[in-house]
Structure 1
Amino acid sequence: MAEALYIGGFTDHHVHLQLVDTTHLEETRLGRGLDLGSDPVEIARIAGAVSARFGHDPGGISISYAGAFLTPPGGYPSDRAWAPRGSVREVATVADAAAAVAEMKAAGASVIKVASNSTAGPVFSDELLAGIVRAADELGLPVVAHAEGPGEAQRMPRLGVRALAHAPFTERLSDDEVARQAGRIAWISTLGIHDGDAREIAIDNVRRFHAHGGTVRYGTDMGNGDTPVDLNPLELDALREAGIRGAALIRALVPVAATTGRRFLMPARDADPFDIEPVHLESADPEGT
């Protein structure tokens, strides 16, 4: 067999486990998932149940989460039928921002999710969004933003947001804007949820962001429509179309921090991520290349 590569379990950096049947995780090739918007009590229960259900598997499946979307009063997604009860926390003042962040931390959140969708309602002022970021920084929680609408993606790195929950799809960023973002913020891909112009815009933005050395993380928005509770071939195809292939695709799927959880044996460095075989942690060579 060609040179083998041992890697940590694949990570989906954007899931909504309240919106899917988690029993399908038994057959998944994912080792880690980041839930970016659920009722904090319910997602803590789900994460615990997943851990218990798959405890027989060395390393199991690791679920981390943001808890509720933080959004202005009346902001996205407070009016969406798909948003479960408790999955939206409205924030009106800087003082309220600190309280909301503390609530998510107490519920077990490892990141904070903010919504900034000007096409669907009000968005945070710069002052209030910066206040959320400060409160999150004090508790060691990076902020991830759903940025949608003209100019929304561009202002996130300036205000200290660490990652975009979706690669920008509202508008084509200029080359200068892409270059500035590349060194300051990560993009979670979610390319597969789009079609038409939005898909073309997002792929073009990602192609140039990646070319500038930007960090792209694999994420699918699992639960947004009929998405698989597994690796998503539509997302992988879109990432390849954006020029993220081979080792770069593996880096998007398995960030450096993925040192625990399921491990998989790849037949060769540039193998297709679907051509994988799970191996037990105790039999995997941690120094394998």
Structure 2
Amino acid sequence: MHAATFFDGEGWREGIVELIDGRMLLHDERPAPGTPRLDGVIIGGFTDHHVHLQLVDHTLLGRSTLGRVVDLGANPAVIAALAAARFVSVAGAPSLNERGVDDTDARSLSERSETKRAPHRVAIDFAGAFLTPVGGYPSDRDWAPAGSFREIADAETAHAAVTEMADAGASVIKVASNADAGPVFTDDLFRAIVDAASARGLPVVAHAQGAGEAQRVARLGATHLAHAPFTERLDDSEIAAQAASVVWVSTLSIHSMEHSARAVAVDNVRRFHAAGGTVLYGTDMGNGPTPVGLNPAELDALRDAGIDGDDLLRSLAPQDPRDPASVLLHLADVTATPSSARPLTPADLKV
């Protein structure tokens, strides 16, 4: 039994960590005087709020520092089966995506070293299929797996698609609104999707791309943007309106360092965060050779946007380490970068 400082999702607290029947468990209770103290601090498994598990070797996640992922576009039957099973990783397996690309080199040294550790369960939330207009994004993309999108022609098919995703176990509905890559929904049809989702208690997350799309989908009832706006710089009044009503998933590192979209997105996020908006860590995992685990490039981009320290940890929405189902991660101290986290082991509890 050791005294330990832990992050509860909002701030730092004191508790006790101990090894019981081979499991590391954290209790929310004040340590007694003289209790030996754990070196470092404890945090729960991190969350990636934008992944595509059909485009990566998802079995590697169980050896990462992620405890939860949100899949925002997949065949609902496939992703529902993964969510029901969660996953246990195969030690040392290469990260092969559906295009046959070995992603091993793209992973950080810390992520690669995690393949040697005991696997843990990963919680999966999902949207199921993209809902898109007839001929809309990503219906014409080679990377889109079979069954990963539904083309919506009217309110009736919108309601049917939302019902299908909800019945499959979706916790959110994903809507494509990419005016740069094809048609987008009319205001009325977008609202019909929002209404159908709301009737099932599901928020709508939108891929908003193209001039004015981020502002339009927010006005029509989307509660989350799958990507921080990168098409254009939002003015301060638009930032304020978004900060009051919409959550942004970051995905800043999908833009190359030299691309203007990255500078636009980072600037928007910096001002959105300063205005009190909620930014969630998300990587669009599967969009190129991304790490199957925590992405240091995304963390660096969030810091560039002024999100660091406890705010950065909050964007990662770590699991509650007091939950017995959570993986417990170890950090050197409260100022350590999340990319240095590793699973807590019995060896950390020194006599």
Q: TM-score if structure 2 supplies the norm length? A: 0.75
CA distance in 2, matches of 1:158, 1:60: 38
Closer, same or farther in 2 for the Cα pair 1:4/1:52, shift >3 Å?
A: closer
Separation in 2 of the partners of 1:277 and 1:114? 35
Alignment of 1:31-70 (within 5 A): 31-51=67-87, 60-70=121-131
* C-alpha distance in 2 between matches for 1:4 and 1:155: 46
* Superposition deviation, residue 22 in structure 1: 1.5
Aligned to 1:202: 265
Tell me which of 225, 236, 241 is aligned to 1:164. Answer: 225
Following TM superposition, by how much is the alpha carbon of 1:58 offset from its aligned partner in structure 2, in angstroms?
A: 9.4
Supply the AA of the counterpart residue of 1:261: S
C-alpha deviation, 1:227, in angstroms: 0.1
Aligned residue for 1:71, secondary structure, equals: strand
Q: Secondary structure at the match of 1:84?
A: coil
RMSD: 2.4
TM-superposed deviation, 1:263 = 2.5
CA contact (8 A) 1:2 1:268 kept: no
Aligned letter for 1:128? L
Give the TM-score of the pair, scaled to structure 1: 0.91
- Residue deviations 1:174-217, cap 9 Å, x none? 11101110010000000000021010000000000000010000
Instruction: Give the Cα separation in 1 of the matches to 2:42 and 2:152.
Output: 44
Rounded to whole Å, the distance in 2 between the matches of 1:33 and 1:47 is: 10
Point out the more displaced range, 215-224 or 153-162: 153-162
Given candidates 237, 254, 265, the residue that maps to 2:317 is: 254
* Structure 1 match to 2:334: 269
Matching of residues 50-199 of structure 1 within 5 Å: 50-51=86-87, 60-195=121-256, 196-199=259-262
Q: Distance in 2 between matches of 1:181 and 1:257?
A: 28
> Could you say if the C-alpha distance between residues 52 and 4 of structure 1 is closer, same or farther in structure 2, counting changes exceeding 3 Å?
closer
Please tell me whether the aligned partners of residues 71 and 126 of structure 2 are also in contact (alpha carbons under 8 angstroms): yes
Query: Shift of residue 43 of structure 1?
Result: 1.1
In 2, Cα distance between equivalents of 1:257 and 1:102 = 31
- The gaps in structure 2 that reach 5 residues or longer are 1-36, 91-117
Identical positions, percent: 59
- Cα offsets for 1:225-279 (capped at 9, x unmatched): 0000011111011000000001110000026889653232333222100222323
In 1: Cα distance, 2:127 partner to 2:320 partner:
18
